Structure 1
Amino acid sequence: MITAESFKLAPGYFEVAPGVWGMKDKFVNFYMVQDAASGDWVLIDAGLKISRSKILRMAQDLFGDQRPAAILLTHGHFDHVGALEALAEHWNVPVYAHYLEFPYLSGISSYPPADPTVGGGMMSVMSVFYPNDPIDISSRLIALPEDGAVPFLEGWQYIHTPGHAPGHVSFFRKEDKVLIAGDAFVTTKQESLICTITQKQHISGPPMYFTCDWEAAEESVNTLTALEPAIVATGHGKPFSGPEMEKQLRQLNDNFYQEAVPAHGRYANDPAVTDASGVLYVPPKNKANTESWMFVAGIILAGVTAFGIVKFATTGKKGR
């Protein structure tokens, strides 16, 4: 069973299950999974732009000079593809994703805009500043097989779990019921900066500020709950297992609209519409509400910057 203690004590990265390892960089996780029979391994998600060196060090520690067979994506939001282009070029490997993510990975379409008005904490408020432009890795991009098989990983399947992103997928190993859920649900309250920093463990819905279709998100949680996972590893928060995880996942599944869906917000009652070409429709934003949240975000950002300057100046004076 994965415990909070073992997570904290892991030297840089943590073991989720046999052949499955993860690492947290700032506020997002990425994973490395090895096939027991072939020895091939893959990277699942690519963190932030600054994650490149951490991912390379982790790979070297686990696999030596063996490069991955591929990079697999749960989805293409900025905090899951930050180091993707650099890593794919460094290793010269293909990138697999669901075909409905292709517009956002081929320079064709931006995702539906983040919604800072959903509430829940500072991570939501600051989402107005999160990158949303598409990247272009079309020369390396390959669609995941239609039959649900996971390239290079025998015994795994991927499940299309849209809602947070149109082509979002999760990965499941039936043998020991290990679930890499991505952001279909997470194990901390990602909207809260305090919970993001402390990694307080709690099964929560997908991060509200980026989720653009709540009906699809609920169906995805229903699908994953029906798998009865024994261990869940998500895009945000610590791995979670045992009776408490199972209880909390059932609670989220049974009370999704009460626990996960924001009471207000751009997509709360009107989903974005997308297809294989990208975004077709986004509901209109509440201009006054959005501008007020942007003002709050600006004040917070200015305050954090001022605090940093004062702290630096004070530390500098003490050191002289």
Structure 2
Amino acid sequence: MRDTLYCVICVLTTCLLGVLASRYVTHMWILAFFESLQTHFGIACIFAAALALLLRRHWYAMLMLCVAIGITGHSVLMLRAHAVDAAPQTAVPSYRLLSFNVDGDNFDNSQRIGDLIANSKADVVEIFEAPPVLSQMQRLTAIYPYRIGCGVMMEECDSLLLSKRPFVSQSVQSLSGLWKNRFIMATIDMDGHNIAFASAHLTKPYFDDFHDDELHALSDILKVTREPVLLAGDFNASVCEPDMQAFLSRDGLQHVFPEPATWPVEAAGFGIAIDHVFARPPLRLKSVQRIADAMGSNHYGLITDFTIAP
């Protein structure tokens, strides 16, 4: 029985390690789910290999343990690769962004979501899967008179950007042919500093190559954007993803470490960060915090405080 259990653990762990290691040979979109969860699966493999080693002192179990530690360690390095130290909380000027995928069918919590937006003290709000917010627009317009999305500049109501300050320029674009108008960019004068607020909602990475194509389209937009950029959105992937790593490198974007886990909400802090906030210097992130209550959504929202480096 002991040997049988050892063999079963070894077979299952080897298969999982093989899937995780495939990224070092080629990037296959069908395995994107495992790439985003590389840290989690890697830790699971460490425990499995350690259990196998306890069952039987054998070189193969030790080899599995070493490989699992290496893969997990590399995932942590990738999570940190484009992270920078947060700016001091006392840094000025200080601005705030609220970004939140509220779930397009989450109409039962429209009032609570409206309360969150109204009380957030955010200068700019970016909402994804926005239909539940439409019933709150009358009272929100009093706080955020400037708006893009849900009938303004586009008929679609997936992405919505609200601002307390007028737009210097604004644009709406499609990142791929799969979904229309899921990218918004608005340049806003923040006390004499023009800042480009970008909002992106990407396709799931295991839908063929659309995710990678959308990231390249996003890079094409950002490389001709001269203003400091604050990019927030539902990327449906962690920064461990190979195409996310390449995207961050191409565009010089930075994030905090560790990023707050936003999905799935049932996992709370043990989930993964697929909703991100990226800044390009001279912008510096002061903090990126997860809202306490997902309010019926399958994502947690993020409150981001940031500053402009002198």
Normalised TM-score (structure 2): 0.27
Pick 1 or 2: higher relative contact order, CA cutoff 8 A, min separation 6: 2
User: Which has the larger Rg?
Assistant: 2
Normalised TM-score (structure 1): 0.27
Structure with bigger strand share is 2
